[in-house]
Copies of this chain bind each other. A is one copy, B any other.
Amino acid sequence: MSSQAMKTIPKRKTREEILELSAPLFAQRGYDGVSMRDVARAAGLTQAALYYHFADKDQLYLEAVAVQFRERGAVLNELLAGGGTPLKRLERFVTGLARMMATDKDFLRLMQWVLLDNDEVRQSTLAKQVFRDMFVAVHDLASELDPHQDAHLLAMSIFGLVIFHFQTGATRKFMPGHRPHQDNPEVLARHVCELLRRSLAAADGEVQ
């Protein structure tokens, strides 16, 4: 088989493949919960081979997470880039974020692991690399939605309203008033948008 024929199955670089295949493992069980053996098995390699591509487990983990965050961050930033009234853009972002959290469970979990990370360097690196861009956009949107409020707090509240709901996903099932349709991202997005729309409308009425 010539290298020409191989082109039909595009052979990704092993390094990238390792990062892509290890991400779900880290998402599911966290840094301490995943061994280099696990990663090697998932990648169809031996443990030793991993050390050709990465200096140590720390670096592998950090890069795997960073890739996931960059990918998802780009998607979310597109939601905010489009035009429309601030309220329309809010709806678009909230709905998109809710859909992502519902679809991409692994990403949600990765985010939770990062938030629990004790390593200050790792955390600030990821925070700046990824969260920041996204937060800046929502922060700006927040100031447009209500120039009189603390945009930082409002932006964080927008994230929290969506994300916390999915963080509690597995636990929520055991709580009163739970019905399956609440797991639908569209339903949650509507709830959050309504809550925020009402609040902002009322704030607009209470002139400073």
- Interface residues, chain A, with chain B CB atoms under 8 Å away: 28-30, 32-33, 109, 112-116, 118, 120, 123-124, 127-128, 131-132, 135-136, 139, 150-157, 159-161, 163-165, 167-168, 170-172, 174-179, 182, 187-188, 191-192, 195-196, 198-203, 206
Contact = CB atoms under 8 A, between A and B. Distances in A.
A178 B202 CA distance: 25
Contacts of A120: 170
Q: How many copies does the complex hold?
A: 2
B156 A165 contact: yes
Nearest to A113: B116
Contacts of A170: 115, 120, 123
Contacts of A151: 177
B157 A161 contact: yes
A102 to B, nearest CB: 14
A150 B174 contact: no
Given A123-B170, A198-B203, A182 B153 contact: yes
Nearest to A177: B152
Contacts of A179: 152
A20 B177 CA distance: 34
